[in-house]
């Protein structure tokens, strides 16, 4: 099925911009293997006199191994998408759909925050864009933190766009960076959540939906 999909994408990209996002990448080896398949299918289509395009190739970073080799991965692709939902699940070994272990699914775990920072840094080092995907990208509670970590592209449900756009236009990047710096010494997610919530209440409470800052899980 992968080869069928690749052939369809290559043909569709002939006269329009199309990107290929490779999921569940564990390291450079996966990228090289998949690029080889893409090239094989390209050559087959060209030999059959079928017009093809040249889609950009990126990866979905969602495995701990991809985070740890993000700098190496970034040298072989055109862009990165950071899949935060799966990343939290795999980093913390917690099924996000299992209510019995919901308390262990911690988006603000220090390891998760470090991973986000590292992937964004790897993208910057390679001069390629990094898009933050997942629920946190469309959540007002997390967006200032993401901006402070260096995120500049957020992928979200269209319903969230207006609210997030208003939030971003109403705060300064320097404040977001200072806020993010203030949590670097935190060792547990509860400390980070408290710092963020207190700051929002004191400085930006008018920018958040009613009830959000009093909720247990933002």
Q: Write out pLDDT tens, residues 49-103.
A: 999 999 999 999 999 999 999 999 999 999 999 999 999 999 999 887 777 777 7
Residue with tokens 């247990």: 216
Q: What is the pLDDT of residue 25?
A: 97
Q: Is the dihedral of CA 49, 50, 51, 54 positive or negative?
A: negative
pLDDT tens profile 26-47: 999 999 999 999 999 999 999 9
Q: Yes or no: say if 59 and 122 are a contact pair by the CB < 8 Å rule.
A: no
Alpha-carbon distances of 135 from 87, 124, 139, 147, 164, rounded to whole Å: 12, 23, 6, 15, 12
DSSP type of residue 59? E
Residue 217 has pLDDT above 70, yes or no: no
Between strands 153-154 and 79-83, the pairing is: unpaired
Please state, in angstroms and rounded to a whole number, the distance separating the CA atoms of residues 16 and 52. 10
CA distance 184 to 194: 13
Percent of the chain predicted with pLDDT > 90 = 87
Terminal CA-CA length for the chain: 39
Residue 112: Cβ within 10 Å count:
20
- In this prediction, residue 218 has a pLDDT band, given cuts at 50, 70 and 90, of low
- 101, 94 contact by CB (below 8 A): yes
pLDDT at 181 over 60: yes
Give the residue from 170, 211, 169, 175 showing the smallest Cα distance to 196.
Answer: 175
Indicate the pTM of the whole model: 0.92
Nearest alpha-carbon partner for 14 in 47, 58, 45, 59? 45
What DSSP state is assigned to residue 137?
G
């Amino acid at each position: 099925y992968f080869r069928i999909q690749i052939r369809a994408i290559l043909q569709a990209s002939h006269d329009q911009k199309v990107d290929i996002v490779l999921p569940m990448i564990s390291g450079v080896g996966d990228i090289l293997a998949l690029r080889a398949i893409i090239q094989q299918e390209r050559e087959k289509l060209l030999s059959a006199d079928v017009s093809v395009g040249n889609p950009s190739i990126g990866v979905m970073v969602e495995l701990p191994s991809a985070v740890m080799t993000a700098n190496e991965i970034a040298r072989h692709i055109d862009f990165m998408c950071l899949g935060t939902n799966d990343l939290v699940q795999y980093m913390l070994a917690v099924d996000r759909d299992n209510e019995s272990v919901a308390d262990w699914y911690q988006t603000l775990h220090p390891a998760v925050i470090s991973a986000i920072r590292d992937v964004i840094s790897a993208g910057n080092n390679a001069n390629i864009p990094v898009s933050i995907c997942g629920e946190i990208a469309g959540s007002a509670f997390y967006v200032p933190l993401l901006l402070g970590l260096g995120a500049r592209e957020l992928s979200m449900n269209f319903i969230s766009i207006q609210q997030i756009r208003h939030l971003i236009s109403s705060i300064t990047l320097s404040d977001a960076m200072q806020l993010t710096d203030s949590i670097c010494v935190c060792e547990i997610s509860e400390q980070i959540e408290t710092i963020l919530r207190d700051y929002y209440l004191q400085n930006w409470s008018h920018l958040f939906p009613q009830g959000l800052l009093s909720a247990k899980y933002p």
